[in-house]
Amino acid sequence: MNAHDARAIRNVALVGHSGAGKTTLTEALLFVSGALTRMGKIGEGNTVSDHDPEEIRRGISVSMSLAPIEWQGVKINILDTPGYADFIGDVHGAIRASDACLFVVSAVDGVEVQTEAAWELAAEAGLPRAIVINKLDRERASFERTLEDLVRAFGTQVAPIQLPIGEEHDLAGLVDLLSRKAYRYGTATTGAEEAWPEDLVAKAEPYRERLADAVAETDDALLEKYLDQGELSEEEIVRGVKAGLAQAKVAPVLVAAADRHLGVDRLASFVADAFPSPAERAPVTVRTKGDEERERACDPAGPLTALVFKTVSDPYVGRINLFRVWSGTLRPDSSVFNATKNTEERVGQVFTMRGKDHENVPEVPAGDIGAVAKLSHTTTGDTLSVKSDPVTLPSIALPEPLLAVAIAPKTKGDEDKLSTAIARIQEEDPTLHVERSPETHETVLYGMGEAHIDTMVERMKRKFGVEVVTSPAHVPYKETFKTKVQAMGRHVKQSGGHGQYAIAYIEVEPLPRGTGFEYVDKIFGGSIPNQFIPSVEKGVVKTMHEGVVTRNPMVDVRVTLYDGKFHPVDSSDMAFQIAGSLALKEAAAKAGIALLEPIVKVEVFTPESYMGDIIGDLNAKRGRILGMESSGGGKQVIRALAPQSELTRYAIDLRSMTHGRATFAMAFDHYEEVPSHLAEKIIAAARREGGEG
């Protein structure tokens, strides 16, 4: 594929809910444009976009895929994105790399939740939006019902520019409201042009009026003429649709039945003709090393500025980075400077990708999307620049993963392989977080949902040969004392030979939450020699770290060593460590242990209609509502405190309760004592797990 001028490039993110037909539409665009000789099918597992074995097995897209086509002298870079909520991270990346969004909506199911989520992201980015109503040949398909659904969800900017001829099994073609032409489809990949069918004129005119209304509202001069004369010319409507689309004031609606490639050629023509090119975008803002802001225009002769928006880890090729060039030109066999990581990278071949297939290109100029393999340090969100003038673009804002599972290698010898696999998987999907919990000593994997975690676990096995065992992540409980108490630790063994002798008297008292641990030495008169006083502390600290009742660490206590006994020969550092440990255990048995649980601060962003359900659910989860307020965009924010143990599956619960329309953020706040009836259950479970009962 040859290099194209920025004016002849269209970067389009294909977004929408899972099952709307984005992958099939991508396949149809590839086929109609001549890039494919045969259309693949999702059911047969042979589509260009869904080439990953996990995508084939599940029948859904789990990662973004690039599929460029050429149409009427224009290169269209299609970014086919997943429509399942667990994989929304790739939607963020695609929107960042694109100049417009094409929303695919099923004529059977209408506007679904991920369509709304993607619309919000595109609106935040200020991207032009167009809509294609797909699957019009299916049973229960309805253009009018779906259009009403779209207007209800996204407002009067939604304006049809095409109507279907027939519906369901009788779908025969489409009517173009701009040109007043009809296009009928048989077995050919392109529609046969003809005059408006007489029986559709009455139906089409009201839609054309609606289109004129939407166009007139985008321009004061057009609105004045429309109000004076009651109509706009065809040229004015066409010009107004293009201008309104570019300004994100009009969302044109087209029609299609992608698996029959009906309407696909008209869609490609509309994208090539009306969608904005990279050259029409405002300059991007970059930040210099000195933290100054500058603007970079879409100029192939300018200094290189490229953003990596997707990384693929291939076990054979290595790391592949997909990037969008905002300024300059990236060429093969050259050096680039990763301004984010402050390191130089050597570029070998530069290519484009069509699904998993690579096609070398002579260069990737400003406005275009390309790929490069085997960069040593570059990952998603990095800016590629020039060493003499390094600048960075804002990184890609990604949602926070909040579903946690503990993972461990299935085979004990696989620890090193697991850490390598995790690092590579995180390069592919930055919405995946992995951390080692210092409290529970588990490796905890945070994902967007169960499907996300299952897919990543399967990918580690398939790509990197590491099988992992998953389990619910333990809640990091902590222990503390209920009351002040005194106790003795006695470790005496004198059965011939060198014995062991140490006796320590301690006083233990609880401290306020968050105070930590205090050790006080009140030994007088040499009852314990100075060199053994720290030994008692070591024994106490070791036992506190291991926990006495639940194997969770002990916190917020003051231990005072006030007396003891020693033997001039048999006493030792180890003997006094053991005595300190025994003393703390005896004190715990006397005073009783209070179990502390982490309390998290939760912010739930939700449509108002779900507020009652969410508040009721949080109350049932022992939550305390702190307040509610409007967050804009028709959403409310609910702030609450709740035990972490009650929210381990909240990512799933909230999605189910609100059909995916609410989101939340969560952060640790403080520790509180667990209610006694729940503490007993937790302690009993810990003993069973430890093999004590």
| Mean pLDDT, all residues of the chain | 91
Q: What percent of the chain has pLDDT over 70?
A: 98
Is the Cβ–Cβ distance between 240 and 215 less than 8 Å? yes
d(CA 632, CA 188): 48
Judge: domain 6-214+248-280, CATH 3.40.50.1390.
no
DSSP state of 554: B
Q: If we measure between CA atoms, which residue out of 289, 283, 296 comes closest to residue 337?
A: 289
Highest-pLDDT range among 200-209, 235-244, 649-658: 649-658
Residue 474 has pLDDT above 70, yes or no: yes
What does the pLDDT look like over 567-596, one tens digit per residue? Answer: 888 889 999 999 999 999 999 999 989 999
* Cβ atoms within 10 Å, residue 584: 27
Under the banding of pLDDT at 50, 70 and 90, the label for residue 691 is: low
| DSSP per-residue string spanning 437-502 | -TTT--EEEEESSHHHHHHHHHHHHHHH---EEEEEPPP--EEEESS-EEEEEEEEE-SSSS-EEE
Range of lowest pLDDT (201-205, 400-404, 528-532, 679-683):
201-205
Question: At residue 373, what is the residue type?
Answer: A
Beta-carbon count within 10 A of 555 CB: 18
Region 230-239: what's the mean pLDDT? Answer: 75
Give pLDDT tens digits for 190-225.
Answer: 999 998 888 888 888 888 888 877 877 777 777 777
Task: List, as one string, the DSSP characters of 560-622.
Answer: EEEEEEE-TTT--HHHHHHHHHHHHHHHHHHH-EEEEEEEEEEEEEEEGGGHHHHHHHHHHTT
If DSSP codes are grouped into helix, strand and coil, which group holds residue 313?
Answer: strand
Q: What is the mean pLDDT of residues 623-651?
A: 91
The mean per-residue pLDDT over the stretch 299-325 comes to: 91
Instruction: Write down the CATH number for the domain with range 479-591.
Output: 3.30.230.10
Give the mean model confidence (pLDDT) for residues 412-426. Answer: 85
Q: Is the pLDDT score of 655 beyond 80?
A: yes
pLDDT at 690: 64
Predicted pLDDT at 693? 39
Q: Say yes or no to pLDDT of 444 above 80.
A: yes
Question: 302 is written with which tokens?
Answer: 């300018």
Q: Cβ contacts of residue 294 below 8 Å, gap of 6+? A: 285, 286, 287, 288, 391
Query: Per-residue pLDDT averaged across 34-63, rounded?
Result: 87
- pLDDT, residue 1, reads 66
pLDDT, mean of residues 537-545:
95
Apex 612 CA angle, 610 and 616, nearest 5: 120
CATH (residue range 595-687) = 3.30.70.240
The CATH class of 284-392 is: mainly beta
Kindly report the length of the chain: 693
Question: pLDDT (tens digit, 9 = 90+) per residue, 121-177?
Answer: 999 999 999 999 999 999 999 999 999 999 999 988 899 999 999 989 999 999 998
Task: Give the per-residue pLDDT at 642.
Answer: 97
Specify the fold of 403-472. Answer: Alpha-Beta Plaits (3.30.70)
| Lookup: tokens for 92 | 């963020």
Statement: residue 333 has pLDDT above 90: yes
403-472 has the same fold as 284-392: no
Interval 422-428 mean pLDDT: 88
Residue 410 has pLDDT above 80, yes or no: yes
Please give the average per-residue pLDDT across 102-108, as a whole number. 97
Give domain limits for the chain: 6-214+248-280, 284-392, 403-472, 479-591, 595-687
Mean predicted confidence (pLDDT) in 373-385: 94
Predicted pLDDT of residue 424: 86
228, exposed or middle or buried, with CB in 10 Å at 0-12, 13-18, 19+? exposed
497 band by pLDDT with thresholds 50, 70 and 90 = low
Distance CA 90, CA 16 (A): 12
